[in-house]
Amino acid sequence: MSEPPQNDAAAATEEPEYQSGFGNHFSSEARPGALPRGQNSPLICPLGLYAEQISGTSFTAPRKHNQRSWLYRIKPSVTHKPFDRRVPRHDRLVGEFDRSTSSATPTQLRWRPADVPDSPVDFVDGLYTVCGAGSTFLRHGYAIHMYAANKSMDNCAFCNADGDFLIVPQQGRMWITTECGRLFVSPGEIVVLPQGLRFLVDLPDGPSRGYVAEVFGVHFQLPDLGPIGANGLAAPRDFLVPTAWFEEKFHPGYTIVQKFGGELFVAEQDFSPFNVVAWHGNYVPYKYDLNKFCPFNTVLIDHGDPSINTVLTAPSDKPGIALLDFVIFPPRWLVSEHTFRPPYYHRNCMSEFMGLIYGVYDAKADGFLPGGASLHSCMTPHGPDTKTFEATIAHGMDADPFRIKNTMAFMFESYLIPRVCPWVLDSPYLDCDYYQCWIGLKSHFSGEGSDRTGGAQQDEIMAVKGD
């Protein structure tokens, strides 16, 4: 098996081995015979290992929802000094969204791409909260973060006790070492790191930035397909899970950085947390290549709702309503007739945070750049900018089929209204003129034929064409 990148030589980029599937019960061992047979916690584990369970759900959760893994490690993770608050504090992480930490605003917001810092900054220090809702302590809600970093994590690992991370790299590849093994993640892929699992991030390309969605109290799952049937969207077999890998060496002063209630705490130990020789279970990290998504689309008239592009969903306690959906807008054909093909103007009871990994988003001709972001909160109107609208209607009724290519945009969508952090409202990257992209929209109302519905006009057009 290939060696992982070291912090002083993080340029190694050979893909490790993976297992495939979503929600499966996996087994993996880096040494033959390391997994116990017939039971989880024998009196003496094979190879003198310790058995340790990590649970992502309560023990009594319904069997189909229960998530847990058994780790067989050289030393148990409890072998560390007491936790202390990290100094200096990381003041731009939020776990409680209230008036003391964040603000409510219905205004449409957009940010230009953030610059990667000049001074050395790793993933943990480069992470900052943009917005969110709810509470880590109440185990309900979500946070949306972004990160900008240029340095691999050194002699430390990160543990998020608050929720699951869904990371969307936009610039720079990531080597992510976890207790279950290693993942190599590039822009155009995503990675999900479950609550409580320890990991470190190496940056083989140096300057890196991206987006992170965090959900409290629930886990991501594949959306139901309903009338679509058995196939389409994200296929379970395309999700990749690491194979067991471990390191055994003395690490004096190794630090565990734990995010707990939105604050950072640190504890020292003298060994690597990545000393798991074997494991089995269904509580695992995984990655997914967004280019493998199988989109569905309109083949006659009108524009489909963006929910048809959901990759993963974190459900709420209300059937059919998501705490947070992860939706993408990948390359695809536009073929609908007599239809305004870009996303329609709308107001939504859900709130939408959008990012752009590469290319151009088809609803914004200008200003929405790779690495940037926008936020349209509950019932705040939004839609295509003036340039996009005018260019679209200029094609008239006879627009040919058109392929959107070389693009990948995404959306985090939630039914909870987000509160926005003060540092992003005061950020130099905030586009204060965002509203101007719609100000140029003018009335095309002529007053003629106003007693005839659009549907009747469309029927007449189709009849003339012989459709």
Q: Is 361 annotated as a binding residue?
A: yes
CB neighbours of 395 closer than 8 A, spacing ≥ 6?
none
352 labeled part of a ligand binding site? yes
The CA R_g of the chain, rounded to the nearest whole Å, is 24
C-alpha 197/C-alpha 159 separation (Å) is: 6
CA separation for the pair 313, 142 (Å, rounded): 12
User: Taking a C-beta distance cutoff of 8 angstroms, is the pair 161, 262 a contact?
Assistant: no
User: In the annotation, is 90 catalytic?
Assistant: no
Q: How far apart are the first and last CA of the chain?
A: 60
Backbone angles phi and psi of 47, in degrees to 5: 60, 20
DSSP H helices, 302-453, are: 386-394, 422-425, 436-439
72 annotated ligand-binding residue: no
From the candidates 90, 251, 303, 338, give the one annotated as an active-site residue. Answer: 303
The tally of CA atoms less than 13 A away on the side-chain side of residue 59 is 1
Nearest to 68 by CA among 314, 286, 282: 282
Residue type, 389: F
Residue 298: count other Cβ atoms within 10 Å of its Cβ: 16
CA–CA gap between residue 46 and residue 371 (Å, rounded): 47
Would you list which residues are annotated within the binding site for homogentisate?
Answer: 346, 361, 382
Q: Give the catalytic positions in this structure.
A: 303
Would you list which residues are annotated within the binding site for Fe cation?
Answer: 352, 382
